[in-house]
Amino acid sequence: MSFTVLTKIYSEPPFCEREILRYAGCKATDNSIIDLLNSCIDETKGKLTYKVCYCISPFSVSDGVCDFHAFKTKSEDLASHLSKCNRAVLFASTVGVEIDRLIAKYSLISPAKALMFQAIGTERIEALCDAFCADLQKQFNTVQRYSPGYGDLPLDMQKEFFNLLDCGKRIGLFLNDSLLMSPSKSVTAIVGISDESESADDSRINKLCKNKCSACGKEFCTFRRDE
Amino acid sequence: MNFKDYLKNNVVYFDGGMGTLLQKRGLKPGEFPERWNISNPSVITEIHKEYFDAGSNVVCTNTFGANRFKFSDAELDEIIKAALTNAKEAREKSLSARQKFIALDVGPLGKMLKPLGDLDFEDAVSAFAQVIKIGVKYGAELILIETMNDSYETKAALLAAKENSDLPVIVSNAYGEDGKLMTGASPAAMVAMLEGLGADALGANCSLGPKQLQSVATELLENASVPVIIKPNAGLPKSVDGKTVYDVLPDEFAKDLAVLVEKGVRIVGGCCGTTPEYIAELCSETADIEPAEIQAKSFSVVSSYTHSVKFGEVPVLIGERINPTGKKRFKQALYENDIAYILSEGVAQQEKGAQILDVNVGLPEVDETDMLKRVITELQAVSDLPLQIDTSSVVAMETALRLYNGKAMINSVNGKEESMKAVFPLVKKYGGVVVALTLDENGIPDTCEGRVEIAKKILKRAEEYGIDKKDIIFDPLAMTISADNSAACITLSAVNAIKNELGCNTSLGVSNVSFGLPNRSAVNSVFFAMALENGLSAAIMNPYSGDMMKTYYTYMALKGLDENCRQYLSVAESFIGETVATVAKTEINSDFASDLQRAIVKGFKEKAAELTATLLKTVAPIEIVNNEIIPSLNIVGKGFENKNIYLPQLLMSAEAAKSAFEVIKTSVDGNKNSALKCKFVIATVYGDIHDIGKNIVKLLLENYGFDVVDLGKDVPCEKIVDTVVELHAPLVGLSALMTTTVPSMEKTIKLLKKDAPWCKVIVGGAVLTKEYAARIGADAYAKDAMETVRYAESVWGKD
């Protein structure tokens, strides 16, 4: 079977200020926070890149082992999440090194800004993943994205991802020995594709994947959304 | 004929892609192509032969990903050996009449270097060195370092090639659609660094098709003095009916590249998606084009990991503030290992308009080599300005030049034989623009002619070392007019003569001119203007000096170097800023006991510093701390605990408090410990590189008067324990973000309990909980920075 890894470059997705503030641990704002947020957003302009590389692989499950053709991995959670899927998109995405540089610089001179850039970076990479997944959804019947480290899916799977997608060459994304990624504002994930349209799935795992805070037991989490 | 000779008079053709061809022949997704050198040698030989037959002069071994991070030492040796055997066999089998060479192909290591990633620079050099040595052993004829998208990794590879072989080295980078490397370097910056390190040719490959690489190629040609190589992809890959196809066909590919050969590109080939067909087309399309002559460029240029700075067009400002001379606060920072203070001086100078940063950390009792290494490494994480390495220690200079990610400015060499003997070999090896002082064994001549003579002598010796005159910038030495009335005039004539008679650039440490006089900045700024008018190319100066900056921007506007006076207009307002600022601070708010308290609670950094400075005139430092700063912090701290105030606001207040403390610290020099509580050692544990949480805790602890010793991130447990023992610190804070690094936290705690049983350990981080913390032996867990402060105060209070 032939195998193609494709690269996609997105233009800047719109900023969601509410999400940024949530990541910054801010449940209410005043003018000084808004000013801080805006000046930080301005400073990222033109500095971030929005890159994704991905491939579409066949997918099957037997005995809780997920088979992506190029590699296999054991995960009951992923197997159940992709139970109706026969293909999967494996993707890696990053907003580039500049956000890490901004965070490093401002850690020294303004921790408040460093915190804000940290939050912006998180919001940016999620926005990029959302844009990419929305594109997939136009083409396929997809389920929510699922990343190495979620549930019982081992973080170790990152190695397979990087080997397969050659992320360093394609989008400038690298895996560290600790299995963290550089640049830090990056995501790898799996999007299952099924031939039938997605049924309304209220399972806890699907809710979690859709960022539904109500499905999570951590009631006093700083980042919990009011739903 | 050897490769370099052939390159002199010919356009050289490289081969095309390998990966796509191997996939067609059965290479599986995720399988290492390098192993095919051994498992399928005939396939590899066949592909090489097809390229030679198609017209390639050079084929690259199938060793792109061959390095120690993917293969064992033994397998690596075997792979490279087999790869060279396959290429040689192809050469023998090919009937092509062209000159044929074999290049050892060296690709990226697949890991990112520090500070962005986790690979140490010297580890990268050593990994590349291993590959180069094996390649040399088995008969490679030249080296192609290719597809590098990080300037720092490129430097590691080129340095390894130069240190371990005499072969010609070609360096090719992968530029993105923005025309820059993934880590930000422009083509001009890469040219500066790579030529400095001795690349025989340089250019671009991969990522883009030939059309999109046009602008990169043009910028390379405009800046390079060595031949330029371009090896584009066959456009972009697409998936059609499950097959990978590229959108630029051989004919279009060849025509687009021919345009670049016409413009002066001397080495061409293909990258991803190209096949022997593309190379055949390319050879025939360009067959009649005369190889362009290589034009040596004469401008002086330094670079950082993002951009280059040229001398001789507009005057360049070199910030002088990272230097302990005459600065008590800076000396204190050096003695206390306060790297953060030193770095913030760098960032602040950049914000004030400095274009290069001078870095001098030499002080008795400070290990200069180690300190310079740390400061250079860390500065490169927070500022993208080129650096001027300023040291009289040759060992420190070499260490810094090696680590520097770009082409550095070097301060300095002089006309003494001993100095030239020590410094010139380093300039030759690592590249750089060196500042040459016009003094020698007989001292500083007191005439213009005498200084010019020394300059000539320096140029001659530099040439013997193979250093071009563009890489020397003369400093004809500004001397104080308070000692010799004619001192300024002599210096100015020397600036003029060196520029006009020798055709060289100049730099001056401007402020020396006023030594011993009152109101020095008035003298300095006028002297600066006079020097600029005499052709000065660069000044080492204080970017915080309003007078100097006024002179600079005004000169630029008057000289027609500032289009539409744009820069002048953007800064002009700040020239009168000082008077405006004093008027603005009279707002009164009855919610707060004082203006300073309000400024801190509201997080107004500059205002807090300003108000503290005013208060210091009438109030004792300790009273300001106890009656103003601490109460403000308490308001904010309680607000945070009661969830009326959120983390960003807490931090803004902490920053404002810190700026107030900084003013106090500067004013009570030598008496710094008066307001401090106990030592608090803080670190992010080994394996973990997340330090934002740790930094927040540090800031708050400092606010509350703890003497925080910050060991940084990814800190080995032995280092933490050694520091605690050495300082007999009563408190340690450890941070870990990931489940994978908690074991290293546990190990650190065990070791601390054994070697420093007096010490209380408090831990925090995303994955920790109170229960978990207790299980790994911590004395306390804090869910946030305020909790850490409260705990630290409770421990300190007991002492």
B489-517 pLDDT, tens per residue?
Answer: 999 999 999 999 999 999 999 999 999 89
The answer to whether A1 contacts B242, with C-beta atoms less than 8 Å apart, is yes
Q: Quickly count: other Cβ atoms within 10 Å of residue B667's Cβ.
A: 15
Q: What is the pLDDT of residues B188-231, one digit of tens each?
A: 999 999 999 999 999 999 989 999 999 999 999 999 999 999 99
Asked whether the predicted pLDDT for residue B473 surpasses 60, the reply is: yes
How far A125 CA sits from the closest chain B CA (Å)? 17
Q: Identify the CA nearest to B520 among candidates B529, B530, B512.
A: B512
Whether B577 has a pLDDT exceeding 80, the answer reads no
**Cα dihedral B232, B235, B239, B241 sign:** negative
Would you tell me how many other CB atoms lie within 10 Å of the CB of residue B44?
A: 28
Q: Percent helix, strand and coil across chain B, each rounded to 5?
A: 50, 15, 35
B648:A1 CB<8 A: no
- Sign of the Cα torsion B422, B428, B432, B438 reads positive
pTM for the whole structure = 0.89
Q: How far is CA B158 from CA A185, B122, B180, B569, B737, in A?
A: 29, 12, 19, 44, 36
CATH-assigned architecture of domain B322-544: Alpha-Beta Barrel (3.20)
Q: Measured between CB atoms, does A99 come within 8 Å of chain B?
A: no
- Give B243→chain A minimum CA distance, Å: 6
- Nearest by CB to A114, from B147, B602, B692: name it: B692
> Nearest to residue B542, comparing CAs of B345, B335, B328?
B345
Mutate to test the interface with B, among A27, A41, A178 (most CBs of B within 10 A): A178
Note the residue count of chain A.
227
Task: With both helix axes pointing from N to C terminus, report the angle between B595-602 and B630-641 in degrees, rounded to the nearest 10.
Answer: 40
Asked whether B409 and B356 are in contact (CB, 8 A), the reply is yes
Tell me whether A211 touches chain B (CB under 8 Å): no
Q: Residue ranges of the domains in chain A?
A: 6-215
The DSSP symbol for B297 reads P
The sign of the dihedral angle between the CA atoms of B528, B531, B537, B538 is negative
**What does DSSP say about strands B356-359 and B243-246: parallel, antiparallel, or unpaired?**
unpaired
Which residues 6+ apart lie within 8 Å of A217 measured at CB? none
C-alpha closest to that of B318 among B309, B327, B330, B328: B309
- Could you tell me where the beta strands, DSSP code E, fall in chain A? 6-9, 51-58, 60-62, 65-67, 72-74, 85-94, 141-142, 174-175, 181-182, 186-194
Fill in the DSSP letter of residue A11.
P
Please indicate whether, in this complex, the C-beta atoms of A178 and B182 are within 8 angstroms of each other: no
Give the residues across from B317 on adjacent strands: B539
Residues B693-722 have a mean pLDDT of: 89
Cβ pair B80, B65 in contact under 8 A: no
Mutation site for A-interface testing, chosen from B206, B649, B698, B784 by largest number of A Cβ within 10 Å: B649
What is the chain A residue with the closest CA to B341?
A108
Cis peptide bond upstream of B476, omega within 30: no
A47 contacts chain B (CB < 8 A): no
The helix (H) or strand (E) run that includes residue B259 is: helix B250-263
What is the CATH code for B3-286? 3.20.20.330
Class of domain A6-215 (CATH, top level): alpha beta
ipTM value: 0.89
pLDDT band for position B137 (cuts 50, 70, 90): very high
Side chain identity at residue B363, one-letter code: L
Residue-level pLDDT at A1: 46
Please, what is the Cα angle at B553 between B551 and B555, to 5 degrees?
A: 65
User: Is pLDDT above 50 for B780?
Assistant: yes
From B680, B677, B679, select the one nearest B697 (Cα to Cα): B680
Contact call for A97 and B184, based on CB within 8 A: yes
CA-CA distance, B317 to B468, in Å (whole number)?
23
Interface contact A25-B646, CB threshold 8 A = yes
- List chain A pLDDT tens, one digit each, 227 residues: 457 899 999 999 999 999 999 999 887 778 889 999 999 999 999 999 999 999 999 999 988 899 998 899 999 999 999 999 999 999 999 999 999 999 999 988 888 999 999 999 999 999 999 999 999 999 999 999 999 988 889 988 999 999 999 999 999 999 998 888 999 999 999 999 998 765 545 555 666 556 667 777 767 676 777 66
Chosen CATH of B676-798 out of 3.30.200.20, 3.40.190.10, 3.40.50.280, 3.20.20.80: 3.40.50.280
> How far is the C-alpha of A23 from the C-alpha of A116, rounded, in Å?
8
Helices (H) and strands (E) in chain B — how many of each? 32, 25
Q: How far apart are the first and last CA of chain A?
A: 45
Yes or no, beta carbons of B688 and A178 under 8 Å apart: yes
At residue B197, the 3 state secondary structure works out as coil
Percent of chain B whose predicted confidence (pLDDT) is above 90: 73
Q: What is the CA radius of gyration of chain A?
A: 18
pLDDT in tens, A4-45: 899 999 999 999 999 999 999 887 778 889 999 999 999 999
Alpha-carbon span B495 to B391, nearest angstrom: 23
Q: Give ∠ CA B244-B245-B249 in degrees, rounded to 5.
A: 160
Best residue of B28, B119, B382, B768 to probe chain A, by most A CBs closer than 10 Å: B382
Give the mean pLDDT of B159-171. Answer: 98
Q: Do A111 and B237 touch (CB under 8 A)?
A: no
In chain B, CATH 3.20.20.330 covers 3-286
Rg (CA), chain B: 30
SS3 B113: strand
- For residue B133, give how far its alpha carbon lies from the nearest alpha carbon of chain A (Å): 25
What residues in A contact B182, CB-CB < 8 Å? Answer: 96-97, 172
Residues 6 or more apart whose CB falls under 8 angstroms from that of A212 comprise A227
- Strand order from edge to edge, sheet including A60-62: A60-62, A65-67, A72-74
Written as one string, the DSSP assignment of B500-546 is HTT--EEEEEGGGGGTT-SSHHHHHHHHHHHHHHTT--EEEE-TT-H
**Interface list for A 135-164 with B (CB within 8 A):** 155, 160, 162-164
**Distances B446 to A32, B476, B494 between C-alpha atoms, Å:** 58, 11, 11
The yes/no answer on whether domain B595-667 falls in CATH 1.10.1240.10 is yes
d(CA A26, CA B348): 28
CB pairs under 8 A between A and B: 155
Residue B354 has pLDDT above 90, yes or no: yes
Confidence of residue B573 (pLDDT cuts 50, 70, 90): confident
| pLDDT at B187 (0 to 100) | 98
Mean of the pLDDT values across residues B731-750? 88
Candidate from B112, B176, B738 with C-beta closest to A182: B112
Is pLDDT of B141 > 70?
Answer: yes
Question: DSSP assignment, residue B118?
Answer: S
Average pLDDT over residues B729-736: 94
Omega into B507 within 30° of 0, i.e. cis?
no
- CB of A96 within 8 Å of a chain B CB? The answer is yes
Yes or no, beta carbons of B178 and A183 under 8 Å apart: no
Chain B hits for A175, CB-CB cut-off 8 Å, are 111
Which residue among A1, A98, A178 sits closest to B740, beta carbon to beta carbon?
A178
Closest-CA residue of B relative to A110 is: B655
- Show Cβ contacts of residue B289 under 8 Å, excluding neighbours closer than 6 positions: B11, B258, B261, B262
Average pLDDT score, chain B: 92
In this predicted structure, the answer to whether residue B666 has a pLDDT above a threshold of 80 is: no
